[in-house]
Structure 1
Amino acid sequence: MVKQLDYHQITEIFTRFRAVDAEPKGELDHTNAYTLVVAVALSAQATDVGVNKATKELFKVADTPQKMLDLGIENLTEHIKTIGLFRQKAKNVMKTARILVDDYDGIVPSSRAALEGLPGVGRKTANVVLNMWWHVPTQAVDTHIMRFGNRSGVAVGKDVVAVERAIEDHIPAPFQQHAHHWMILHGRYTCKARKPLCSTCLIRDICAFEEKNLD
Structure 2
Amino acid sequence: MSKTVKHKTADTPPSRRMPNRDIRPFFEKLAATIDEPVTELNYGSNFELLIAVILSAQATDISVNIATDQLYPVANTPEAILALGEEGLKAYIKNIGLFNAKAKNVIKTCRDLIEKFDSTVPDNRKDLESLAGVGRKTANVVLNTAFGQPTMAVDTHIFRVGNRTGLATGKNVLIVENKLVERIPDDYIVDAHHYLILHGRYTCQARTPKCGACPVYDECMFKDKAAFLEL
What's the TM-score bracket when you normalise by the shorter of the two chains? over 0.9
Q: How does 1:61-210 map to 2 (within 5 A)?
A: 61-210=74-223
CA deviations 1:147-173 (Å, max 9, x no partner) are: 010000111111111011011111111
The CA distance in 2 between the partners of 1:146 and 1:64, in whole Å, is 33
For residues 58 and 23 of structure 1, what CA distance do their matches in structure 2 show?
26
Evaluate the alpha carbon distance shift between residue 23 and residue 137 of structure 1 in structure 2; reply closer, same or farther with a 3 A threshold.
Answer: farther
SS in 2 for 1:173: coil
Letter of the structure 2 residue corresponding to residue 104 of structure 1: F
Q: Which runs of 5+ in 1 are unaligned?
A: none
What corresponds to 2:20 in structure 1?
Answer: 7
Q: Which amino acid in the other structure matches residue 207 of structure 2?
A: R
Which whole-Å deviations, capped at 9, do the CAs of 1:55-76 have from their partners, x for residues lacking one?
1010111111011111111110
TM-score, scaled to structure 2: 0.91
2:10: which partner in 1?
A: none
Preserved CA contact (<8 Å) 1:7 1:171: no
Distance 1:61 1:31 in 2: 14
Amino acid at match of 2:95: T
Deviation per CA, 1:100-147, whole angstroms, max 9, x where unpaired?
Answer: 111111111111111011010011111111111111111110000000
Structure 2 counterpart of 1:119, which letter?
A
Structure 2 equivalent of residue 214 of structure 1: 229
Q: Which runs of 5+ in 2 are unaligned?
A: 1-12
For 1:123 and 1:6, the matched residues in 2 are separated by 28
The two structures, once aligned, show a CA RMSD in angstroms of 1.0
Q: Which amino acid aligns with 1:201?
A: C
| Alpha carbons 2:33, 2:215 under 8 Å: kept | no
Q: Percent identity?
A: 50
SS in 2 for 1:93: helix
Which residue is 1:16 aligned to? 29
- In structure 2, what is the Cα distance between the partners aligned to 1:206 and 1:73? 48
Alignment match, 2:9: none
Alignment: residue pair count: 215
Shift of 1:20: 2.2
